Amino acid sequence: MNWRGKEIETFGDLADAVLGIVKDGTEDDAKEFMQLYRTEEPEFADENVGYLAGYYEAADAQKIWAWFGTRHPVFGTTYPGGE
């Protein structure tokens, strides 16, 4: 998948793209990203981005779940371990 000139080939690439949107982008960017990613990977897009949120601080995770319209596959939208 190509996101604004950057090829997304690995989970690390996905993490960089998602965090880049969270830090420097907008909710509209997140929606656009997910529309493209869901087209490319319909079975795994939501699960991958939702899972990825668990690697970040609670505030970033909440933003990922809200902006990207996803949830963690195990914890839902509850951050493990609290804030």
pLDDT recorded at residue 79: 72
User: What is the C-alpha to C-alpha distance for residues 25 and 10, in angstroms, rounded to an integer?
Assistant: 21
Q: Which pTM value belongs to this model?
A: 0.88
pLDDT recorded at residue 82: 53
Q: Which of 20, 18, 26, 9 is nearest to 70 (CA)?
A: 18
Tens of pLDDT, residue by residue, the chain (83 residues): 999 999 999 999 999 999 999 999 999 999 999 999 999 999 999 999 999 988 888 899 999 999 999 998 888 888 766 55
User: What is the C-alpha to C-alpha distance for residues 13 and 44, in angstroms, rounded to an integer?
Assistant: 15
Could you tell me if residue 25 is left (phi over 0), alpha (psi between -120 and 50 degrees) or otherwise beta?
A: beta
